[in-house]
Amino acid sequence: MSAQGTPRGGMLARVLAVAGASIAGGLLITVGVTPALAVTGLAENNPIGLFETVPEYLELGQLAQKTEIYAKNTDGSDQLLASFYAQNREEVAFDQVSQFVKDAAVATEDPRFYDHGGVDLQGTIRAVLSNVFGGDLQGGSSITQQYVKNVLVQKAESLSDTDPAASEAAYAEATATTPARKLKEMKLAVDLEKKYSKDDILLGYLNIAGFGGQVYGIQAAAEYYFSTSAANLTLAQSASLIATVNNPNNLRIDQPENIPENKVRRDYVLDQMLQEGKITQADHDAAVAEEVVPAIAPTQTGCQTAGNAAYFCDYVTWVIRNDPAFGDDENARFANFQRGGYKIYTTLDRDLQDVATATTNQWVPKTPVDDVNIGSATVSMEVGTGRILAMTQNKDYDAAGSVNGENFSAINFSTDTAYGGSAGFQVGSTYKVFTLAQWLANGHTIYETVNGRERTFDDFPASCAPGGEWNGEFEVNNDDGENGTFSVLQGTMRSINTVFVAMAQQLDLCAIRDQAAAFGVKTASGAELSYFPSAILGSADQIAPLSMVTAFAGFANNGSACSAIAIDSITDSAGAAVQPPVTTCNQALSPELTAVATDALQDVVTGGTAAASDPDDGIEHIGKTGTTDDAVHTWMDGASSRVATVVWVGNITGDASMRRVLVENTETGRDAYASNVRHYIWNAVMTRADEKYGGDDFADPSSALLNGRQVTVPNVTGQSVDAATETLEDLGFDVEEGATVDSAAAAGTVAGTDPGAGTTAPRYSSITLLVSNGSQVPAPATQAPAATPTATETPEATPAPTATETPTPTPTPTATGEVEE
């Protein structure tokens, strides 16, 4: 409606409102903001009640600041891996802000800032008059009022991840274009100035203000728009940034189309600074003559910036998401992480990380080879502390996954599903170490022999199964077709499947499962570990490399397994220490028995299936290889006394045999089967680990635990199988019926044993009975029968075959490592 059409009553009301505003001006100085209600039309709505709902003081709270993750360089300095933020902000002190910035803000936004008590009287009256005649809310906000509004908006936005509805409601209340909101803001501003100094309020305003996009605060704005600090901003730059505060998203200068408008507003800021006597005419003119020339320093958030440590960085973020100390649930924890301004100092060793990544990149392609999608993961851990020293894989990290190319992945192959990882992988024969540990825990020794013939096993003790037993058939073959009787040490060095299944049949499948769990092993999905016979050979569950490196670090730590940690220390935005997750250690096997286990596992590296991994640098290592059916997955797990390393190379998807996939070294051009690559990576990483961390010899086992009680094998030749079995079992031996052989003993009786009579063997060893077929029994004589011999003339039984007459087992692989398990 035009002015000419305004009813006389409406015009009179406005005139009276103007008069009321003049009166309010005087009262405003004396009693604060309450009398101004009269000119806003709110007097009839109980203004006193309105103010009773406003707190006396505004809780400023903690501003959202970026969190940073660091790793240690070789020289001990901290290297920034990645930054995370909901708002890119870095708070600075008053003396870290250019005086040009302070003067520009005051001259433009609130020239009487240092004179009023939180509400600018003249500005407020002007705004009231504008509101009266214009019908809606207009400016007039002091810097203190703007600060109050920004604080309320920040509080609202901080709820967005944890309570979206509350966040939306709080934001609407903080930004409502109503007189009621304005008056609350004025009340809070007056009270705020009773509690804080002018400089504190100005600094708070400059640290909280938005400068476009995710850039908040004067320091982040200076760094992003001009590649400098808040302290070093020039006059023109300062004016350009303060100009941006007026309309951040339309005046931000990282978008070229905004630059002309920014210059107009910037020059206005310079005019105001001149008018308020903050700069000279010459300074003003020189600054106006300058073009707006941004020097954008691109900012990135997230682990994409962490280079070859991106997957480790991602793991750190999941550690925070899973730590109750950072919030009630995952969303609250990550929101706290993004806004808390933490500095997180990690356990990562840049040396080992670089070696692991470089060797992986040389041997394992990032994209499929002949349609085989090969994956690789390497994890190193400090023995005794659980500190993760390296974590890498063959894929490039991208939080978006493989949408940007087959070389990218968002899945961390090293970790469990709950920590950003995959569903895990079968670990093959590396799992045999837990049967070995239980074997020793049950009083057995590594020199005991067991029947290693390929065969079908049935019925295993299993205390956690119905009836206390696993019933069924389990057919077992050996990778190289080994058959015969083997010591447990031989079975360990050569990773003979039947040896370990035969061992497990004398144990408790559930105890083997529990032994693995005691060493820190768990399924990647979080499901309970299996106790089925297939678990003995590592083919029942899907397990992440991080679990296996925890276990092998435990063997190297005298049987004490320490949980993985990725963070050494944390400080908050104020520099105060925050407690990170700490390692917990569990004595999974006694140090005395662990010494026996590590004695055997050293032989695996020096002369067994892991010989190709041996750094051969004078430092002792333990190890165990793992190859699943048809080499779908291959592993090398091991440790020195200082560092444990696990390497997995296998199928990400599919079931191609790593023994039939050729890969080429990107540096040397040398070809190798993918099944051997685990050795090259492990050797390179542990060689560097040995150079840096050194290593002690593993503890020598006691003779009693190493050899056990030695028992002489009796001569049972000529006895029935049942009688011989009873005799041997009474001495503590495990008895197996073996092959039928040519012998002078009566058919069906015992022709001999393996080991042979008169030899000594550890109690509980396996003794194989050789059964006679009677083929060498002398034929009856044709002459007249001789007189019946007396008892003293009884012919001697045919001597039992000695142990040397037993077929020799397949030789142990040589140190060349060419023989795989």
For 259-288, the pLDDT digits (tens) are 999 999 999 999 999 999 999 999 999 999
Parallel/antiparallel/unpaired status of strands 710-712 and 750-754: unpaired
Cα–Cα nearest to 220, from 87, 416, 376: 87
- C-alpha angle 315-318-323 in degrees, rounded to nearest 5: 130
What confidence score (pLDDT) does residue 800 get? 36
Q: State whether residue 177 is helix, strand or coil.
A: coil
**Between the CA of residue 685 and those of 16, 681, 688, what are the distances in Å?**
85, 6, 5
Decide: 536 and 437 in contact? Cβ < 8 Å: no
Q: State whether residue 79 is helix, strand or coil.
A: strand
Mean pLDDT of 145-174: 88
At 520, which amino acid appears?
G
Q: State whether residue 519 is helix, strand or coil.
A: coil
Tokens of 150: 């920004």
Structure-model confidence comparison of residues 56 and 751, the more confident one: 751
Kindly list the domain boundaries of the chain, sorted by start residue: 65-77+340-400+543-706, 86-289, 428-527, 709-778+796-821
Q: State whether residue 53 is helix, strand or coil.
A: coil
**227 burial class (0-12, 13-18, 19+ CB within 10 angstroms)?**
exposed
List of residues 6+ apart from 370 with CB closer than 8 A: 661
Place of tokens 């073959």: 477
Tokens of 593: 């028995």
Rounded to 10 deg, the angle between the 235-245 and 259-275 helix axes is: 110
Q: Does domain 709-778+796-821 have CATH number 3.30.10.20?
A: yes
d(CA 568, CA 343): 11
Q: State whether residue 256 is helix, strand or coil.
A: helix
- C-alpha angle 361-367-368 in degrees, rounded to nearest 5: 120
**Terminal Cα-to-Cα distance of the chain (whole angstroms):** 93
Which residues are bridge partners to 664 per DSSP? 671
27 has a pLDDT exceeding 70? no
Taking only the tens place, the pLDDT of each residue in 570-614 is 999 999 999 999 999 999 999 999 999 999 999 999 999 999 999
Instruction: State the DSSP code for 685.
Output: H
699 has a pLDDT exceeding 70? yes
CATH fold of 86-289? Penicillin binding protein transpeptidase fold (1.10.3810)
DSSP 623-680: EEEEE-GGGSEEEEEEE-SSEEEEEEEEESSS---GGG-EEE-TTT--EEEHHHHHHH
Taking only the tens place, the pLDDT of each residue in 328-350 is 999 889 989 999 999 999 999 99
Taking only the tens place, the pLDDT of each residue in 365-407 is 999 999 999 999 999 999 999 999 999 999 999 988 877 899 9
Mean pLDDT of 655-669: 95
Q: Element (H or E) spanning 461, and its range?
A: strand 455-461
Q: Element (H or E) spanning 445, and its range?
A: none
d(CA 819, CA 821): 7
Tokens of 554: 């435990």
What confidence score (pLDDT) does residue 236 get? 98
DSSP 527-592: PPPP-SGGGGGT-S--B-HHHHHHHHHHHHTTTEEE--B-EEEEE-TTS-EEPPP---EEE-S-HH
d(CA 552, CA 49): 69
Taking only the tens place, the pLDDT of each residue in 673-688 is 999 999 999 999 999 9
Structure-model confidence comparison of residues 803 and 645, the more confident one: 645
Structure-model confidence comparison of residues 335 and 424, the more confident one: 424
3-state secondary structure 125-165: HHHHHHHHHHCCCCCCCCHHHHHHHHHHHHHHHCCCCCCHH
For the chain, the average pLDDT equals: 88
For CA atoms 655, 661, 664, 665, the dihedral sign is positive
What confidence score (pLDDT) does residue 780 get? 64
**Between the CA of residue 682 and those of 355, 689, 767, 820, what are the distances in Å?**
10, 10, 38, 15
Mean pLDDT of 743-758: 93
806 has a pLDDT exceeding 50? no
118 has a pLDDT exceeding 50? yes
d(CA 815, CA 819): 9
Rounded to 10 deg, the angle between the 350-363 and 674-693 helix axes is: 160
Place of tokens 């320490």: 562
**Between the CA of residue 317 and those of 77, 314, 397, what are the distances in Å?**
22, 5, 14
Q: State whether residue 593 is helix, strand or coil.
A: helix
Q: What are phi and psi of 26, to 5 degrees?
A: -65, -40
Taking only the tens place, the pLDDT of each residue in 168-199 is 998 898 889 888 888 899 999 999 999 999 99
Q: Residue 333: CA atoms inside 13 Å, Cβ hemisphere, count?
A: 15
Q: pTM for the full model?
A: 0.79
Taking only the tens place, the pLDDT of each residue in 456-496 is 999 999 999 999 999 999 999 999 999 999 999 999 999 99
Q: Which CATH architecture has domain 65-77+340-400+543-706?
A: 3-Layer(aba) Sandwich (3.40)
Taking only the tens place, the pLDDT of each residue in 782-804 is 554 444 443 333 333 333 333 33
Considering only 13-17, 386-390, 432-436, 578-582, which range has the smallest mean pLDDT? 13-17
514 has a pLDDT exceeding 90? yes
What confidence score (pLDDT) does residue 132 get? 53
Rounded to 10 deg, the angle between the 259-275 and 99-109 helix axes is: 90
